[in-house]
Amino acid sequence: MLLIKNADLYDPEPKGLCDILIIGGQVAAVTSAGKTDFNGLSIAGELKTADVGGSLTMPGIIDRHVHFNGAGGEGGPVNRTPPLQLSSFIKAGVTSAVGMLGTDGTCRALEELLMKAKALEAEGLSTWILTGSYGLPSPTLTGNIRRDLCLIDKVIGLKLAVSDHRCAHPSIEELRRAVSDVRVGGILSGKAGFMCVHMGDEPTGLAPLLEAIAGTDVPITQFAPTHISRCEALVKESVSFGTRGGYLDITAAPGKNPVFGLPTAPVVAGLLAAGVPAANITLSSDGNGSMPSFNEKGEMVGLKVGPLDSVIESVAEMLEGGELPKETVISMVTANPAEQMKLPRKGRVRPGFDGDVLVLDDGFKPRFVAAKGRVMMEDGETVVKGTFE
């Protein structure tokens, strides 16, 4: 059992100064500070108390785009990024994550990804994965997309790439079949059944997605295009996509000279100002993915690794800037991804939800993390590490 006292709680809506009681891995009660009533609660075992002294408290971050086992390979085998360890997630304030393959759907296997997701879950995180990779036909675990969604609990969607020189350049008909498959798989399994679409910077942009659902009843929300902050042209195109009800995932990029694409804060502000609903916007890290640079001849001239902490750093930057309401910023990495991906008991700090709690210090850096009620970080120090750390 865990009692977090004097939390300035954003759920992500502001709740004021609260106490949060977590029992059996789930939030049992959220009360005004100092007014926790234990009557009627089934309590057994030792109660751990953490007084966070009025610090900003929010749900644990949900990172919807992570490469658990590494990614990349552009430029040859030496450029394959290595697997992630548990502490990398905790330091980044991430308590829930979705893993996927990247460019390499040939030598990297979904079976390995699934086992890594299970390992991270056993170590304390909440994890899911996407089937597929960049190309079509998609690599799968069971032989087809629908079966993966129906038979593999952790599979909640499909990964695919479009408008990128590394993608398979699928036809519109192939895209239509793929999004239909992932939709039906989601319907049959009771999952979101969404398609995470890696967006490149080819001129076709988002057009293939819109053409694929034109003349059908497939909703635009079946797609979740990511890397939409890659370039100005794609951001501008995303406004129309978002105002039509589509979801938009921004690859978090803090600072004025980000590792990837455009800085996050102005992209978010621009989308909101253009009328995109805040609930349709999410941030993810592309954590541990390779971020290669190519010259005008298509030759790779550099490669960086996506930092897992880019989400919390972008959140901190926007919170410190104060231009957007705190709840709007926080929702983009908590409630929004939880609702879009239909993750039960995630994204909020409320009775019945999982005890995933992130407390930030005065500089908006993680100082306390609980995942399913288990304390993973105290006073800014990771107290639980992975099996081989």
Q: Which two tokens mark 385?
A: 């590490």
Asked if 203 contacts 236 with a C-beta cutoff of 8 angstroms, the reply is no
Please, is 99 exposed, middle or buried when counting C-beta atoms within 10 Å of its C-beta (0-12, 13-18, 19+)?
buried
State yes or no: cis peptide before 77, omega within 30 of 0: no
Rounded Cα distance, 360 and 369, in Å: 9
Residue in 164, 286, 354, 356 annotated catalytic:
286
Q: What is the DSSP string of 300-354?
A: EEEEEE--TTHHHHHHHHHHHH-SS-HHHHHHTTTHHHHHHTT-TT-SS-STTSB
Peptide bond into 225 cis (omega under 30): no
Q: Which helix (H) or strand (E) holds 119?
A: helix 110-123
Rounded Cα gap, residues 378 and 389, in angstroms:
18
DSSP state of 222: G
Task: Give the whole-angstrom CA distance, residue 205 versus residue 162.
Answer: 8
**Strand 61-66, strand 94-99: pairing:** parallel
Is residue 286 annotated as a catalytic residue, yes or no? yes
> CA separation (Å) from 5 to 146, 187, 235, 298?
45, 41, 41, 55
Measured distance CA(132)–CA(196) in Å, rounded:
10
d(CA 180, CA 177) in angstroms, rounded, equals 5
The neighbouring-strand residues paired with 377 are: 369, 382
Q: In sequence order, what DSSP letters do the residues of 7-56 get, joined into one string?
A: EEEESSSEEEEEEEEEETTEEEEEEETT----TT----SPPEEEE-TT-E
CA distance 328 to 309: 19
Active site residues: 286
